[in-house]
Chains A and B, each alone.
Chain A
Amino acid sequence: MTTSLSPDLARLADPAVRPDPYGVLRTLREASPYTDPASGIVVVGRRSDCEAVLRNPKVSSDRQGSGITTVPQMPNLMNLDAPDHTRLRRLAGKAFKPRLVQQWRPRIEEIVRELLTDMAAGENTADLVSAFAYPLPVRVICDMLGVPREDHPVFEKWARSIAYTVDPQLVPGRLSIEVVQEVEEARAGFVGYFGRLIAERRHTPRADVLSELISAEEQGDQLTESELIITCILLLVAGHETTANLILNGILGLLRHPGQLRLLRERPELAEAAVEEVLRYDAPAQMITRIAREPFTIGDTPVTPGTPLLVLLAAANRDPDVHRDPDTFDISRGDPGHLGFAAGPHFCLGSVLARLEGSIALNAFAQAFVEPRLDAESLRYRPHVAVRGPDRMRVSFEEIRVDAVRVTGTSERSVASRG
């Protein structure tokens, strides 16, 4: 059990550091790899060390009982190790192949236009957290899973509650009983809901991801009922705050670097590259954890079985050994890849979808918002340490030109999924 942290590591959880953790992350990276004397956590921050740890079969993702989290975990993809993980990932991956995901582009563009239209109808200012970035991924994944529109609000609430399960507990006792209760409630809600939806889809399959998951089969092997439910919950949770924060951190980066915003406006084909730069420069998933299963060393640092490791993706993404001018936001840099989606066997299953949503949303912002201005006073960050992003971010504008957002055509799927 993590009882305390040394001051350097504790600073990561300091609310005063939320707006800009990159100074602390740099200090940690430069000192890494090392073992935090107070907690015994091994801190990994250099790009090459992070990659080595994430690809090392001697590390485990089964964090239960390690002290890194106190919220009971479900046996989902994120917590399993090979061979259980490999089996589940192979089956779940079938529903998330690039070709299948790309088919949702028109639907995502439609949802973006809906959200822009709503904002354009209001005053000349909007909180992009609640009016844009958070609703978008929930609507997308709910549509993909086939959850009817009227149920989206309760899904958003549950997804927010359950998000706590992915934050490593850096400060002991921070998760109150109420939070654990909220998580349990959300989980029970999801289980009941998806149980019913799965039964429906088994009976009448549709062109959605849930039907795809149900029918995914590998040499006679299929996902069981509880694996299906657990995977659906993970898809919602893993893709909600992360994608919202990709959009928000991206918009914030563009607003703070007007030259970059202008560049994207003039060259919309840079939208994908802009997403990569946000994932590097201000990563939504700042850090992930692992547990050593067998002894190994990182540089000169010995790691013994049972030791928790803190893999600082956001620090690695600014490692000067890999990225030129790492602290500069440059959407045209075309650097070698970042660790924003991690690496190794747990590499983000939703990366194709996240990139698609992110590029559509950032490009829509660049093209549709006329004279956008950040209300700097309004900017607040969420308390989460691992999943970093704003809680409130007001932007004022002269106008929103919804028609400036390209639509690639009407989607057949949108008809099917609205049912």
Chain B
Amino acid sequence: MKRGATISGRPELRTSYRADMALLNSRPKRLGAGVILAAALAAPFLITDALLAIAALACAAAIGAIGLNLVSGYAGQVSLGHAFFIGAGAFTAAALTGDPGESVYGLGLQWIVAVPAAGLVAAVLGFLVSPIASRFRGLYLAIATLGLVFLGEHILDNWRSLTGGAGAGRRGVIAEIGGVRLDQPTEVAGLVLTTSQQLYLLALVLLVVLAVLARNLARSAVGRAFEAIRDRDIAAEVMGVRLGRHKMIAFTLSSFYAGVSGAVYYTVINQINPESFNLLLSVQFIAMVLIGGIATISGSIMGAFFITFLPRITRELPAIVPFLTAEPTLRDGALLTVFQLEAILYGVLIVGFLILEPRGLYGLWVRVRNYWKGWPFTY
């Protein structure tokens, strides 16, 4: 039938190593990426502002998930401390952009300065913590980084001049670029952009840039060294991989991504509470990585969108499912609240993916792709 297409469309036939090593090394990949990017750019004009705000949060979360995937998925250094670095970034950006003269620190700086600074502050903290990773492995590292979350929570709860203190919190990150307040509607070239549209586009651009950078790292000698350390650290070292140095790079970069993620997330949400940066937040990021797919950048993004949109979906369910309630407490014969359902779903999804598809959503996608590649043959 379509003979011509199968001959000219041999995606694996490449004439140079350079073409083979390109980021998008086949026509379907280039096409797919183009379509997704076009859809993402068109989204602000197609979906409601409420959904767009969630998508902006998902972009922010995806940046953090990519960071966690670098250190835990690629380099295999399980970290429960990701929430700590997210928090460090969020409060750094909030303090840098905050109004001077309020009860909490505020320097009134531009967003465009504050976001990289938030990444850098988190990166420095990650760098300082990285020697822990050289000392401990596996479960011990997980426990050591767990300590970090508790320590961070304690500091944030009590550092009132920065965070507003437990129970009070402070205003989120203010998005001001060149005198334009993006948290208010602005007119660009005769087109009025709403807050959600602006913040979503901002988050999307950052996500795309940071994702490409991470993908480049992953396919480089550094990324290979990460994976070698994850799979067999002694063999890796015998092959010339510097363990300590690469763990340091992984932790520092991961923390940078976390810092940026926190800053962007709390640009969309305009209230930060110090209690937010707890173990549950770390677990949510782990869920994004596990569900999205270990050691894949696109998987991190899928996982982040999935986890971020999950509450939005479960909150619609009580209308359809009789025994669910959207109220925080059980009444009128309901068996579950949506919040309980979410908690259960996290657990079920993590365990389910670990058992059934360890490569996560990315793995599911690969299966679907391979199925259609081989169609109509089933082997």
Task: Decide whether A and B are members of one complex.
Answer: no
Give the A-binding residues of B (Cβ under 8 A).
none
Give the B-binding residues of A (Cβ under 8 A).
none
